[in-house]
């Protein structure tokens, strides 16, 4: 696996537009859980630490902390949630963390998937490195060396596959998809290259240039890897993102031969889905979540 390019999520948005302005652009947008009874988000509650959208005590889900035994490397932990009304065909989603680890945002996303009828699991990719909690933190430098060490270990693919296999221990006949945010978005893309393990993928503002850096010149072969993707791929990106270039996003998705869907949100920068930090853009987050649920419903159920 190629080394994932690290992106500072708090310094990767065009400076002429403030984070506060982003929230104002999306004021009044619905932060949907995904079903008809979802409550509208209040913009003054999000963009900073807040109560979960789906709590661990939600009566429709069960939360657990399974230990995974990957094919390579020592066992790692995971955070998982499943619907109480599971059947043997219940679909699964592997959720790949952002730079902050499996923090409050990612744990809430896992529970939101379970609330929508998915077996969801986020493997703790930093687990062998004794990371600090990312809850409420905004300092990227704390996690940069941890992410670099994770890449150097070389176990990301087997860790993700262990999470995939865990979903099938819960429901043997279901399909499993993969999603990820920022660093995790790039990892999710890498997992579907040359792999048929996942039935669908939805990546959020992750690198679309595995093996090259965003600042490198684009050549005729930069996006050749797309011919090796057989998994339906959806992407959600910010038009104001300075780390994941919109032109690269368009070029990569244009080369895909599998079913795909991509949307670049003009009002959003990097990490627009992270509702616990100032990069949050409610209009883009709500729409990308709705599109992702539809994507997984189409290919996993």
Is residue 8 in some structural domain? no
Is residue 226 in some structural domain? yes
Give just the sign of the alpha carbon dihedral 18, 19, 24, 26: positive
pLDDT band at 140 (very low <50, low <70, confident <90, very high): confident
So what's the pLDDT on residue 5? 62
Coil, strand, or helix at residue 109? helix
So what's the pLDDT on residue 27? 35
CB 184 within 8 A of CB 98: yes
Is residue 3 in some structural domain? no
The CATH number assigned to the domain holding 76 equals 3.40.50.1820
CB 231 within 8 A of CB 196: yes
Is residue 187 in some structural domain? yes
pLDDT in tens, 200-220: 999 999 999 998 988 899 999
SS3 readout for 242-261: CCCCHHHHHHHHHHCCCCEE
* Structural domains of the chain, count: 1
By annotation, the residues acting in catalysis are 182, 241, 270
Is residue 6 in some structural domain? no
Is residue 281 in some structural domain? yes
Is residue 273 in some structural domain? yes
pLDDT in tens, 73-87: 999 999 999 999 999
Task: Supply the range of the domain harboring residue 126.
Answer: 19-300
Averaged over 283-294, what is the pLDDT?
98
């Amino acid at each position: 696996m190629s080394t994932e390019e690290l992106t500072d999520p708090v310094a990767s948005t065009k400076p002429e537009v403030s984070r506060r302005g982003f929230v104002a652009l999306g004021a009044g947008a619905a932060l949907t859980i995904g079903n008809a009874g979802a409550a509208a988000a209040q913009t003054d509650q999000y963009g900073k630490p807040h109560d979960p959208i789906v709590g661990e005590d939600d009566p429709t889900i069960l939360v657990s902390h399974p230990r995974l035994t990957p094919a390579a490397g020592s066992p790692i932990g995971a955070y998982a949630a499943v619907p109480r009304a599971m059947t043997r065909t219940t679909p699964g989603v592997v959720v790949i963390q952002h730079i902050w680890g499996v923090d409050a945002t990612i744990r809430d996303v896992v529970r939101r998937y379970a609330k929508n009828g998915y077996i969801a699991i986020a493997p703790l990719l930093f687990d062998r490195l004794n990371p600090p909690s990312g809850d409420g933190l905004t300092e990227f430098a704390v996690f940069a060396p941890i992410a670099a060490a994770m890449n150097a270990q070389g176990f990301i693919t087997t860790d993700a596959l262990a999470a995939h296999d865990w979903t099938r221990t819960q429901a043997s006949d279901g399909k499993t998809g993969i999603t990820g945010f920022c660093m995790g978005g790039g990892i999710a893309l890498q997992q579907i290259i040359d792999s048929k393990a996942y039935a669908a993928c939805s990546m959020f503002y992750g690198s679309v240039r595995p093996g090259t850096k965003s600042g490198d010149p684009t050549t005729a072969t930069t996006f050749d890897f797309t011919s090796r993707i057989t998994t339906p791929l959806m992407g959600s990106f910010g038009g104001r993102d300075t780390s994941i270039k919109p032109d690269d996003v368009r070029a990569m998705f244009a080369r895909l031969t599998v079913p795909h869907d991509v949307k670049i949100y003009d009002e959003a920068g990097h990490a627009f889905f992270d509702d616990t930090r100032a990069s949050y853009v409610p209009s883009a987050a709500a729409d990308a979540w709705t599109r992702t649920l539809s994507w997984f419903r189409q290919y996993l159920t």
